[in-house]
Amino acid sequence: MRHKHSDYMNWSKTQSGARFNLATSGVGPFPLRELPVNLDTLEINGSDNGYGYLPLQKAIAARHGVDPGCVVESAGTSMANHLAMASIIEPGDEVLIEHPAYGPILDVAHYLEANVKRFTRTEENGWAIDTEEIRRFVTPKTRLIMITNLHNPTSVLTPEPILREIGDIARSVGAFVLVDEVYLDAVYENTPRTSFHLGPEFVVTSSLTKVYGVSGLRCGWILAQPALAWKMRRLNDLYSATPVHPGELLSVAAFQHLDPLRERARRIVEADRKLVRDFLKQQSSLFAVSTEWGTTSFPRLLKGNADAFLERLRCHFETSAVPGRFFEMPDHFRIGMGVNTEMLAEGLKRIGRAISQASGQHSTLATALRAAQL
Ligand SMILES: Cc1ncc(COP(=O)(O)O)c(C=O)c1O
């Protein structure tokens, strides 16, 4: 049986909610009433948007300095990743994916019956990509190397020289590099340009869903060379026929006001990052690689079982975070920033209280065990 589900998406939709919800990855919602858009110009049906609505394609292209023919509209980064992978991979092709990885990327690769191989980003190495590790795994059968930049779950940025090296490795075996850049605009200073410019082997996916607070628009895209982009549009005919036109119109409006949307998000994310940094400094039971950018942090619980801890956190402290097992790192958990600073502050306090309670229980148990041995 082919793999046909995502455990992470199912958990996220059904189990992640809590009064203090730190199981997020994107910034909080930007209200429609604050988007300067004339609702009288909104229409339900479009014409000539079968393979993309040109004003939106042009807006995406202009933002990235690419030709509109390289832009494929998609329903969020999820569909962008799916279309990109499905257009490139044939069953049995080798696909090299980072570890830890965002679960649905692996799920899609398995669904497409790829021969999935992994290269490791280690915590000791600050979750950086080790290109030697990629070089070791790549073979003439490798069709795709896939990474996220910023990395989900850790928010670590991969710099351009490393991306170029990955491009060189891919080119040497005729493979593509797929870079999911959905979090890249959460680098608020010297924001790197899209890796699409690094060479024809680069394919990029992204959306407005994470960094801009307009996830409901489902405005996503792929940047690919024109022939491959066309293949992706034709493949999308099998999935979603035509795009949702009111979404396209509102997405064009969002692009016209992208900078204020991003600035508003930046204020919340930066206030939250300070809280998370201060909190982690005080917690000897947690370790996390600190990052300057991004909307997530990925601490490791140094003692005890993280799954049991998160269960207790949700049941007794009304606080949620994403279990690291969804990133194949069961000792870790992911905290989100950028939604609501008061909520984050209270959620962090509650994580602190849950840790203290657990270490109190550990030392009571240890005392009882020592007493029993005497
Ligand atoms: C790395 C990564 N790619 C894609 C997605 C899906 O994004 P979208 O909501 O745009 O489909 C997520 C969502 O968390 C993500 O973390």
Instruction: For residue 216, give the DSSP letter.
Output: G
> Which pLDDT score, from 0 to 100, does residue 241 have?
86
**In which band, very low, low, confident or very high, does the pLDDT at 359 lie, cut at 50, 70 and 90?**
confident
H or E stretch including 116?
A: strand 115-120
294-341: per-residue pLDDT in tens? 999 999 999 999 999 999 999 999 999 999 999 999 999 999 999 999
Helix orientation angle between 76-88 and 226-236, rounded to the nearest 10 degrees: 110
**Cβ-proximal residues to 262 (8 Å cutoff; 6+ apart), any chain:** 185, 188, 211, 212
Going by DSSP bridges, is the β-strand pair 94-99/142-148 parallel, antiparallel, or unpaired?
Answer: parallel
pLDDT of residue 358: 83
Q: Residue 111 has what pLDDT?
A: 98
* 44: its two tokens: 């339900």
Percent of the chain at pLDDT above 70?
96
Nearest by Cα to 289 from 124, 139, 44, 170: 124
Residue 48 banded pLDDT, cuts 50, 70, 90: confident
pLDDT at 366 over 70: no
Q: How large is the average pLDDT for residues 25-43?
A: 93
Can you tell me whether residue 202 is helix, strand or coil? strand
Q: At 276, give phi and psi (nearest 5°).
A: -65, -40
Distance of CA 88 to the CA centre of its chain: 21
Position 90 scores a pLDDT of 97
User: Which pLDDT tens digit goes with each residue over 146-188?
Assistant: 999 999 999 999 999 999 999 999 999 999 999 999 999 999 9
Cα distance between residue 314 and residue 119, in whole Å: 33
Q: Per mean pLDDT, which range of 87-101, 152-166, 249-263, 360-374 is the poorest?
A: 360-374
How many angstroms separate the alpha carbon of residue 358 from the centre of ligand 1?
33
Local confidence band at 362 (pLDDT 50, 70, 90 cut-offs): low
The CA–CA distances, whole Å, from 322 to 11, 15, 165, 348 equal: 9, 10, 32, 14
User: Span 40-61, mean pLDDT?
Assistant: 94
36 C-alpha to ligand 1 centroid (Å):
26
C-alpha span between 75 and 218 (Å, rounded):
5
Q: Is 291 helix (H, G, I), strand (E, B) or coil?
A: coil
Axis crossing angle, helix 341-373 with helix 306-317, rounded to the nearest 10: 120
Confidence class for position 249, pLDDT limits 50, 70, 90: very high
Ligand 1 atom with the shortest distance to the CA of 206: 10
Residues with beta carbon inside 6 Å of ligand 1? 25, 76-78, 102, 148, 152, 180, 182, 207, 209, 215, 220
Residue 72 has what DSSP assignment? Answer: E
| Res. 373: pLDDT tops 80 | no
Both tokens assigned to 269: 């994310």
The pLDDT of residue 321:
98
